[in-house]
Amino acid sequence: MTEIPRVQTVALVRELGGLVEFVKDYPVPTPGTNEVLAKILYTGNRTAAGSDGTPVTKIKFPHVGGYEGVGRIIALGPGSDLKVGTLFCLAGTEQYCMKSTNHLHHEDGSFQQYIALDANYLTILPDDVDPKVIRPVLCAGLTAYKVTFDIRLQFLGLAFDQATNWLVVVGAGGGLEHLAVQYARAFGAQVIGVDAPDKRDFVLGLGAIEFVDFVNTDPVQRVNQITGLGAHAAVVSAGSAKAFTHACEMLLPRDLAALESSPSAIFPTFTSETAWSLGLALRSRILSLPSANRKPALLSITLTGGSEPHVVFQCATEPGTIPDNEVWVRRKRNTVLRWGVSSWLMRQKMLAGVGGDATGVEAAFVGKYALASSSGGRVADDFAIHGGGFPVRVKGVDGIVGVIVVSGLKQEDDHQVIVEVLKEFIGRGSH
């Protein structure tokens, strides 16, 4: 029988924002009715934060943090029928309890040696699982699995076609991403890992078919070279707008088009009031960008339906815009109105047609559609295939009902800021 001490070492915080103390005489709890006492073997390192990253303030103090610990049951409280010695994980089903508490807010977590737990809300693990290996799988692993599994369902409904289905993992050596590499390979995808050069051997060792060094090469161009026209899917979890932009640029044009027509980019309704709220949200987002990414920009939202686009919102984000911004707004808007897709998607389609050669893409655009060009065919007078023009679609309405344009940032940032704000705006029902 395991000897149970009376005190233990814990990582304790006494107040919000306070220092972590390693207390060596913290009482070992006694399991109550239908509880178990367990010895923690490995733990996650999460602290209390909401889904938006804002720290949670309603926490029991003094507080022992930590969640998703893995350990073994060493004693049973009255009424528990579990087996002593059972391996378990703290990630249970407590979220389904109407009066639940959890180990990030209301109860002491797994930053301690011994813990008392409700026996009904544990995930019991197989005896032959290595607890050190399984611990990260129970959080990062489940997240990565769900993403790759959902992607797999889009390809034949069951499995990837190993000969043709390319999946890019951006930041492939990261915590979630290195697991995504392994799941995707197990599902049969051709995996391209993108990361810094020091991660090459690690990522290839996980099973990636190709590795792209984003420090010393253009990752988008290299992925397009490997795949021919682009990847079928991309996984990215890094908190970087550029990483998400690159992921979109790496996709086949048809997959980028699917993103634009997905439910997350379609409004239930769209009126002048919607345009006003959306325009203000775009302005706020641009003004919140780091100074290295922010420049004075012109925002314009128009409705279609008449002989001329009807401007329902337009403003400069800050002093410094110039008349050329208005010209770019008009040209990007015209591209969206004529082809019904974002100006960024049109650029990607044209790049695919010229083998990714950005130097000749404008002339190819002029030539393919016989567009007017006062520059001798180098650039179209009335259309632009630079990021920043995005279609407004409404559920149940054929075609586009308006155009959102941002002009002034780098073209990839013009596009990305619209995508991010639009999805967030629609997702929270701000229409």
Mean pLDDT, rounded, for 333-346? 93
Q: Closest by alpha carbon to 176, among 212, 205, 202, 137?
A: 137
Given this model, what pLDDT does residue 280 score?
96
Whether 170 and 238 have beta carbons less than 8 Å apart is answered as yes
**Residue 338 CB contacts under 8 Å (≥ 6 apart), including other chains:** 383
Does the structure show a pLDDT above 70 at 99? no
Confidence (pLDDT) at 404: 97
Architecture of the domain delimited by 7-129: Alpha-Beta Complex (3.90)
CATH code 3.30.450.150 region(s) in the chain: 266-427
Q: Give the sign of the dihedral formed by CA 179, CA 261, CA 403, CA 364.
A: positive
Confidence of residue 202 (pLDDT cuts 50, 70, 90): very high
Stated pTM of the model: 0.58
Which two structure tokens, joined as six digits, stand for 416?
Answer: 């990305």
Residue ranges, CATH 3.90.180.10, the chain: 7-129
Question: Where residue 163 falls among pLDDT bands split at 50, 70, 90?
Answer: very low
> Please, what is the average pLDDT of the chain?
85
Q: Quickly state the pLDDT bin for 157 (edges 50, 70, 90).
A: very low
Give CATH 3.40.50.720 domain extents, the chain: 133-251
C-alpha distance from residue 29 to each of 6, 112, 153, 277, 315 (Å):
8, 11, 46, 52, 61
- Mean pLDDT, rounded, for 237-260: 74
CATH superfamily of domain region 133-251: NAD(P)-binding Rossmann-like Domain (3.40.50.720)
Q: Report whether pLDDT(328) > 50.
A: yes
Instruction: Specify the pLDDT at position 408.
Output: 94
Question: Which 3 state secondary structure label does DSSP give 222?
Answer: helix
Give kind and range of the element (H or E) at residue 404: strand 402-407
Chain segment 15-74, per-residue pLDDT in tens = 877 899 999 999 999 999 989 999 999 887 765 555 455 556 677 788 888 877 889 999
pLDDT of residue 354: 76
Q: What CATH class is the domain 266-427?
A: alpha beta
Q: What is the pLDDT of residue 158?
A: 44
Residue 68's pLDDT is what? 75
- What is the reported pLDDT for 9? 96
What band does 92 get if pLDDT is binned at 50, 70 and 90? low
pLDDT given for residue 51 in this prediction: 47
